[in-house]
Amino acid sequence: MILDSGICTIFRKINTAEPGRKPVWGYRLIHRGWYGELHFETAPARPTESREEVRTDARIRIYQNRSIANHDVAVLRDADAVDPGDTVYTVTRVYHGADDESAALISDLSLEVTAP
């Protein structure tokens, strides 16, 4: 798959407050690179009673970065910081593997919009 949809920036949400103080959230850059959009289904084919339903607003593929985990945040642009006007996505699922076509190491990210 060709990763040509744009540049994605991934941040880790960190607490920048002094110890014992109310949390003040900031973001630390952990990945920046090209991404490709993946197709996905918005409704499960066979919902079951005990299945946890997770909303997915976008799925993207990037070159593999195993430090990306659930609850990291993504901005689908080249960014040095998360700006107030950005659409911010939370990573809800990460798959690390290899591309079927090229055998390149990739990470597939399922994203949920958290800030408009």
**Domain total in the chain:** 1
In a domain, 59, yes or no: yes
Within a domain: residue 100? yes
State the pTM of this model.
0.83
Can you tell me the mean pLDDT for 53-61? 86
Q: For strands 6-15 and 73-75, give the pairing.
A: antiparallel
Task: For the beta carbon of residue 82, count every other beta carbon within 10 angstroms.
Answer: 19
Query: What is the pLDDT at residue 46?
Result: 67
In a domain? residue 1: no
What range defines the domain where residue 34 resides? 6-44+52-115
The answer to whether residue 59 scores a pLDDT higher than 90 is yes
> The domain spanning residue 15 has which CATH number?
2.40.10.270
Percent of the chain with pLDDT over 90: 73
